[in-house]
Amino acid sequence: MNWDWFIDKFQRISDIDLSAYKRPQMERRINSFMRQAGANDYASFIKLLEADKQVYRRFIEHLTINVSEFFRNPRHWDVLQHQIFNRLIKNRLALKVWSAGCSTGEEPYSLAIMLNEMIPGKFRKILATDIDREVLEKAKAGLFSARAVQGVPEPLLKKYFHHDGEGFRVRDKLKSLITFQRHDLLKDRYPLDMDLILCRNVVIYFTEEAKEKLYGRFADSLRPGGVLFVGSTEQIFKAGELGLKSVSTFFYEKA
C-alpha cells in the first residue's frame, strides 16, 4: 500500500486531508511514528490506528504539532498593540477577531487579555478554532503549567488567572471572552467581515498550493482595512495578488 492509499484511508478515519500538507515532511513524520508504533507498513498502521484510540491520539498530536505559547514572539505582539489596534478600531464599534489554528488556547487567551486591557467592551467574542478537537478541550479547560504562563506579565497573571494545584487556571471572566470551535481551514467555511485574523505557525506544513488558497480565503474573510497576523517564518509572497498589503513585518492589511 502506497502513500496515496494511506492518505485516502487516513482521511476516512480522521477527516484530515494530508494531501494539502507538504509530503516530504509528513512522510518522514508519519514513517518514523509508524515504525515506533511497531507497524511495518501502511496497511497494518491503519489497522492499528483504527483499533487503538491511544495510538490514534498520539499520532494526531504528532502530526498536528500543537506547541504554543502565551504572547509568542513578544515583539510582534508589541506591534499589534502599538501600531495595529489603532488602525483597526477607527470607525468600528466592536472588533471581530479570529485566532485560526489556536491549539491549546495560549494565542486566543493572550489576545483576549490584550484586547480587554486596551479596548474593554469594544470587541466581540473572539473566535478561536482548530482542526483538533482535543486541543480545543484543553483550551476550554484553561489550565496551564507555571512554565506555560511565563510569558504573561505578573499583574496580568494575577488579574486573569488563579492558582489551581501546581498550575494556573484562567478565570471565567477571561474564558467568557472566547468561543472555541472546531474548524478545518482546508475545508470549512470562513467567517466574514473580520477585523483581525491571527493564523500563526499553522501553515508551515502545508503545500504552497494549499497555503495560497488559505491566504486567499483569509483575504476574503477580512473586511477592507482588516488585518491578517501571520507567524514569524510566514511572509506572504503574493500578497498583492490576493488584495493584501504588508503594513508591518508579519501583518497584512486588506485593501
Ligand X SMILES: C[S@@+](CC[C@H](N)C(=O)[O-])C[C@H]1O[C@@H](n2cnc3c(N)ncnc32)[C@H](O)[C@@H]1O
Phi and psi at residue 226, to the nearest 5°: -70, 160
Q: Identify the burial level of 233 via C-beta atoms within 10 angstroms of its C-beta, where 0-12 means exposed, 13-18 middle and 19 or more buried.
A: exposed
Minimum CB distance to ligand X smaller for 112 or for 135: 135
Alpha carbon distance 168, 131 (integer Å): 25
Nearest to 76 by CA among 5, 10, 151: 151
Stretch (H or E) spanning 192: none
Q: How far is the CB of 145 from ligand X (least distance, A)?
A: 16
Instruction: List residues binding ligand X (CB under 6 A).
Output: 64-69, 72, 101-103, 106-107, 130-132, 135, 184-186, 200-202, 231
Q: Which residues are catalytic?
A: 29, 130
Question: What Rg, from alpha-carbon coordinates, does the chain have?
Answer: 19
Q: Please identify, using beta-carbon distances, which residue of 66 and 221 lies nearer to ligand X.
A: 66
Give the separation between CA 5 and CA 16, rounded to whole angstroms.
14
Find the shortest distance in angstroms from Cβ 121 to ligand X: 25
